[in-house]
Structure 1
Amino acid sequence: MKRQTMFFFKYVLLFLLHSRYVVSRQKDAAFTYNGFQGVDMSLDGVAHTTDNGLLILANSTLQQMGHAFYPHPIHFRNSSTGTALSFSTCFVFAMFSELATTGGPGVMFVIAPSREFPGALPSNYFGLFNITNLGLSSNHLIGVELDSIQNPEFNDINSNHVGIDINGLKSVQAAPASYIRDQENQHVNLSLISGQPMQLWVEYDSTRNQLNVTLSPITIPKPKIPLLSMNIDISDTIVDPMFVGFSSSTVSITVSHYLLGWSFKINGQAKELSLSQLPNLPPIGPKTEPKVFKIGCPVIAASLVLMSIFIIHYIVKRKRMFAEVLEDWELEYGPYRFKYKDLYIATQGFNHKELLGSGGFGKVYKGILPISKQEVAVKKVSNDSRQGMKEFIAEIISIGKLQHRNIVTLLGYCRRKGELLLVYEFMPNGSLDKFLFHQSTMEKTLSWNQRFQIIKGLASALLYLHEKFEQVVVHRDIKSSNVMLDKELNGRLGDFGLARLYGHGDNPKATNVVGTFGYLAPEIFKTGKADPSVDVFAFGVFLLEVACGRRPIEPQASDECIVLVECVFSSWNRGEILEIVDPKLGMNYEVEEMELVLKLGLLCSHSTPSARPSMRQVVRYLEREVPLPEMPASCSRRFSLSSEFFGNTMNLSSSIADSQLSGGR
């Protein structure tokens, strides 16, 4: 009896150890096949292996299909939580077609609850589905397709793509067959049916619910950036256990689909394949007669030498042409940096026909980006000084973060030799000053309602810059030529080339005097500090400019009206402020709104900074949330540029108007 009891306990112990081994093996299933010679695989259809270990999924067969599966079921679920486990797989494949345009549909890596697919059709159905079960959630199937036929019924993007399929053949994500070159971050196209061996990685991270698919030729290491990447929880799709393998089908007798090696692992990284141990592919393509080589080789060789010389010369010349300045610290600004080549193509080589305008800071060209087809305005700025370039571009990037409906979006920049190129959102109606002062070239006059909406939009933008952005932004060049009009004639503030940024609560540092003559606040010449009040002053001049249809300084006018602010103030002092209104408006304006704008313009352009309102107050005045305060009756010079100030600034006008961006810093 004692002996039988001992035997029983030994049997139970062996059973438990065996069960634990099996469970552990299932949870961490892993295998690596560098070729399939002697490998136990579950094959059906036309799938078979060759003597040298090549697995052929399809080979010169018409309307046939082949399946090749790992014979043992694999547990994809965590036994305690029921969620999907991470997995990783990679395999080397080759697809060849004698027809250059088709070779499909191709090969699909499959995770399915069974190795058998009753009723499945070949051709476009990959040997996995039929018309009745396509797309059903009960399929519990996950696949990565390598498809060389475009099927409109499955919304295929082209006839050479990689796609992620869930329970059907309408890919939830797809991309043209290609890989991303790590150093240049560029897509390099591949032809699936070229007959060249390629490697595909499929990796699922259960902690992030992320599925990545990466493709490359076997001569290229695994790219760092996957071709496809999507967030998906496969726990709802899989059942337990599942089978992994491949399915292939054909539509003609001109195709061959091969599998050279395969590696797989649950809960870990699949082992890399030893490419040198993979079986060789059979000869692919038509044989060439030796006579052709004997006769043609010398001619071809001579031609290749000449062509190589020409190509090398062309490449060197082109590289010099598109050479850019790129320093290590600029890598952090990657998303904001454009390639000079793209901007060159977009503007047709900075063609004079695409010139939108020019000024003291450079020329602006219209362009259409070659890939996105987005219309942009490209500004070429001369900037030979390298001092402070890092800080300057950092400010450009900060300004690029501005998000407001009344601010022209700065999309990015490009550096090339002594040039700095700024890329802006394109404004189809140009700048406001063309409507105000070049009426002969415009189709219509801006109505008062349109002008008033532009004024309110600009006020809202300045409030955002001064108080609501993450830093205080002082524009320093508010004027009508820097207010752009979109296709609906909404005002958008642009050209932040002179802008200064500093933290909320900090004091602005003194800087060079920059801006445009006629809009400069008097105190800037004494302190050199640009704070929001200098923008308020320029905004006040802008209000009078829009309402009166006159420039801030008109040297040919009468002595009283050379300076627009003084001219408006004189009219207000005489009680005849509406006499200064733009005659092109006639009487088509609301008197209350016009008086508000003119008086607010005088208040904002007050010579004393503390007497000017903030932009928050200005917005409230324009929205009529609060009444405009009464202005003193006897202050004939407090609201305007004095004659002495006018004389001094005349001497500075040329340097101010032609200030460079480097000086503006």
Structure 2
Amino acid sequence: MLVVLGIIWFYLRRMAMENDGEMPLFKGLELPTGSFTLKQIKAATRNFDPENKIGEGGFGPVYKGVLPDGSMIAVKQLSSKSKQGNREFVNEIGMISALQHPNLVKLYGCCIEGNQLLLIYEYMENNSLARALFGPEGLKLELDWRNRRKICIGIARGLAYLHEESMLKIVHRDIKTTNVLLDKDLNAKISDFGLAKLDEEENTHISTRIAGTMGYMAPEYAMRGYLTDKADVYSFGVVTLEIVSGKSNANCRPKEDFIYLLDWAYVLQENGALLELVDPALGTNFSVEEAQQMLNLALVCTNPSPTLRPAMSTVVSMLEGHTPIQVPTMKITRTESMELRFRSFEKLSQDGHSQAVSMDGPWADSSLSMQSSREDGHSHSTTARLLGND
């Protein structure tokens, strides 16, 4: 599979140069996954009928389709003009074709024909976790406590497989609620491996260009390009906070009110009031013990020091109650401007309001994604500001 992946990437680069950056052709390539014709995909999606559009990602729309045997599919159409899209296309095929796990979305195949780059996935009836938690009325789901906990454990198991159990050790790099999909039974499946990186065991870390989503990136990665599987652990911690609270970590108020959910969690922990983060929509229909456990785990996973974050297999063990969770006390030195932000977020929490995020389908991303082409591992100054470093 790796050999084929290398061939595809080499072919992409060569054809891009020969075609002055235009979308390269893939004729004659044997891909490590199933192949569909454009005719089949057009028939399945009714020629990409707008009524079948279920999402819009950074690299193109996603359509619902039905195969002749009645199987439902999701078709991700990558823009023919996006060089980054080409890279993600190759990465997605190479990575996910070698991975099989109940908590990873299944890639059925691809279509490379003319100027079309299409990825065909299993269809996920309940769309993305982002829409389930933050979507507008009529689209968001009323997730009870049992399902929230099940989703959290599912994400943890999927990441444990990527980091420790699969033949290829992989760092996803973009774990967030829009990249977690939910099937008809609300089982969580990690999707979108376009930014994933192989984690070679002999390397202690990977120095790489920064690519991911603000609010979910670990500080050592966002600031220095220092990448290990602990970056995914950090992102998982943020997502866990969002699942318990029903609020988005990327939820932004006017400039003077800007604050991240994670900041507020540290303040509440310092005050011994962490359970105030639990989604008011749950009322009293949740386990106080399990909620405290999940919130403590989220803080352990988002520890500023990557070496103090647990491995994902340990996270699974913690969630299942086999391993105790010890949360380090985080003392935060707050400036006057930070105090204003904290008070505004507290008011927002008391009001019970959260900013609605319009999620039309999987891969629809309302948060700020960033790509840095700099190879020296340094991020722009805005990165530091958005991560909450004054």
TM-score by length of 1: 0.45
Tell me by how many angstroms 1:629 deviates: 1.3
Question: Could you tell me the percent identity over the aligned residues?
Answer: 38
1:532 to 221, 229, 233: 229
**2:26 is equivalent to residue 326 of structure 1:** yes
Contact 1:397 1:412 in 2 (8 A): no
Task: Please tell me whether Structure 1 or Structure 2 has the larger radius of gyration of its CA atoms.
Answer: 1
Structure 1 residues 389 and 440 mapped into 2: Cα distance closer, same or farther (>3 Å)? closer
Tell me by how many angstroms 1:494 deviates: 1.2
SS in 2 for 1:377: strand
* 1:494-536: CA deviation from partner (whole Å, max 9, x where unpaired): 1212111243334554332111111011111333243211111
Contact 2:92 2:193 in 1 (8 A): no
**2:120 is equivalent to residue 423 of structure 1:** yes
SS in 2 for 1:467: helix
RMSD: 3.2
1:657 to 369, 373, 376: 369
Q: Give the distance between the partners of 2:145 and 2:112, measured in 1 at CA.
A: 42
**2:141 is equivalent to residue 452 of structure 1:** no
* 1:50-81: CA deviation from partner (whole Å, max 9, x where unpaired): xxxxxxxxxxxxxxxxxxxxxxxxxxxxxxxx
Structure 1 residues 537 and 334 mapped into 2: Cα distance closer, same or farther (>3 Å)? closer
Contact 1:357 1:365 in 2 (8 A): yes
1:555 to 233, 236, 252: 252
> Unaligned stretches of 5+ in structure 2?
1-23, 340-364, 376-390
User: 1:251-270, aligned counterparts within 5 Å?
Assistant: none
Tell me by how many angstroms 1:615 deviates: 0.5
Letter in 2 for 1:635: K
Q: How many residues align structurally?
A: 324
Contact 2:181 2:190 in 1 (8 A): yes
Higher helix share: 2
Q: Give the distance between the partners of 2:250 and 2:49, measured in 1 at CA.
A: 34
Q: Give the distance between the partners of 1:517 and 1:425, measured in 2 at CA.
A: 28
Q: Give the distance between the partners of 1:391 and 1:606, measured in 2 at CA.
A: 30
**2:182 is equivalent to residue 485 of structure 1:** yes
Q: Give the distance between the partners of 2:307 and 2:327, measured in 1 at CA.
A: 16
2:71 to 374, 378, 391: 374
Higher strand share: 1
Q: Give the distance between the partners of 1:388 and 1:445, measured in 2 at CA.
A: 34
Find the counterpart in structure 2 of residue 594 from structure 1: 291
Structure 1 residues 637 and 392 mapped into 2: Cα distance closer, same or farther (>3 Å)? farther
Structure 1 residues 557 and 518 mapped into 2: Cα distance closer, same or farther (>3 Å)? same
Find the counterpart in structure 2 of residue 348 from structure 1: 46
Tell me by how many angstroms 1:635 deviates: 2.6
Structure 1 residues 440 and 575 mapped into 2: Cα distance closer, same or farther (>3 Å)? same
Find the counterpart in structure 2 of residue 604 from structure 1: 301
Structure 1 residues 344 and 567 mapped into 2: Cα distance closer, same or farther (>3 Å)? same
Structure 1 residues 560 and 570 mapped into 2: Cα distance closer, same or farther (>3 Å)? farther
SS in 1 for 2:47: coil
TM-score by length of 2: 0.75
**2:90 is equivalent to residue 393 of structure 1:** yes
Find the counterpart in structure 2 of residue 197 from structure 1: none
1:365 to 58, 63, 86: 63
Q: Give the distance between the partners of 1:394 and 1:480, measured in 2 at CA.
A: 21
Find the counterpart in structure 1 of residue 313 from structure 2: 616
Structure 1 residues 425 and 508 mapped into 2: Cα distance closer, same or farther (>3 Å)? farther
Structure 1 residues 484 and 418 mapped into 2: Cα distance closer, same or farther (>3 Å)? same
Structure 1 residues 346 and 529 mapped into 2: Cα distance closer, same or farther (>3 Å)? farther
**2:336 is equivalent to residue 636 of structure 1:** no
Q: Give the distance between the partners of 1:442 and 1:396, measured in 2 at CA.
A: 30
Q: Give the distance between the partners of 2:321 and 2:111, measured in 1 at CA.
A: 44
Contact 2:172 2:196 in 1 (8 A): yes
Contact 2:89 2:194 in 1 (8 A): no
Bigger RCO (CA 8 Å, 6+ sep): 2
User: 1:224-239, aligned counterparts within 5 Å?
Assistant: none
Q: Give the distance between the partners of 2:206 and 2:76, measured in 1 at CA.
A: 28
> Unaligned stretches of 5+ in structure 1?
1-323, 644-652
User: 1:80-479, aligned counterparts within 5 Å?
Assistant: 325-328=25-28, 330-331=29-30, 333=31, 335-370=33-68, 372-384=69-81, 393=90, 396-438=93-135, 440-442=137-139, 444-479=141-176
SS in 2 for 1:407: coil
- With 452-461 and 497-506 compared, the bigger mean Cα shift is at 497-506
Find the counterpart in structure 2 of residue 576 from structure 1: 273
Q: Give the distance between the partners of 1:473 and 1:411, measured in 2 at CA.
A: 20
Q: Give the distance between the partners of 1:658 and 1:544, measured in 2 at CA.
A: 22
